[in-house]
A and B are shown apart, each in its own frame.
Chain A
């Protein structure tokens, strides 16, 4: 009997005695609070493709991926919502003396996919489907995604105050079908035309390569804020948050990216982006 008790105790300890934390949850960041209220209907609902691309200044294949995604942009316009992230290690690290454009949020997302080589890109956080090198197939796949009928329509707008440093973001969601699952909205700040060194496919280094869509900050927590309203077909909800624009960001080059995801799987349902007004 005593022996049984002891082995039970041992089993209980083994099961409970050790917390395991996933790499994408090492860092906790609550971020800006979203206040929810009644939203409005969205005319002309649009399904967009949210693409996270992992890149790096010392990655000689990455400029090829940039070319492909630039082509995708000219094909699909604002139906492609792109966030570019410098890989947290190896080729993602800056050249000596160069600014470090890696971010905590980017690193946490990087761990979500377990990115093992760059360039790498993912559409709507489907982590099992990676695009690498020049990723030509991504263009047609984005086309397939944006041709679908959206289950939720999404809009985002962002306005800076008179000083230009406090930004208010509105996210409007129009549920076209009912989704019986917890949902989150994530808002991020990206910046275009960041000029710093980039290793090119021919081995040369371009000193003022223009890095576009670079992730600067995840404004909500890394995994977003909960959507308070139930996602019932025919209802709308709208969220508002404010944040301070980081001093080293050029307002004119900044975009806001927002995406709606399933809380459990982190798959992205729809997304939107806008410039700062």
Chain B
């Protein structure tokens, strides 16, 4: 038992040492709202930062986050060129409601579905809402889990830091 845990910790430490910034994985297929397959690695924004927001139709805080960001999204885009990509983890039960939900709520985001949580799992995400910030090179520079009113301000601070670096 102890041996396993020790080995495991060692392993964690070793891997952490050699860590560099991760990008979106190459081999995960998402679907757009027309049901067409899109590779996760194809998500780009002309060298500008990207916010990846994992959400689900049934997730209240996710909906609050995406609704609240919508109110300031135009301003964010103008100031920093950032793009928000919303990845729905709705499975077969509710994936059919994703497109009506997005369009009915008039969300201006690029939306993909991740029905079996392949991308969520590949990024090691535990719960939604979960927000990932990619820099212009597609590297993960910051992550945030959960949403409380006001979390978006912190997110935007990080986006601005990235934008000024470039």
Do chains A and B directly touch (beta carbons under 8 Å) in the complex?
A: no
Residues of B within 8 A of A (CB): none
Listed in ascending order, the chain A residues whose CB lies under 8 Å from chain B are: none
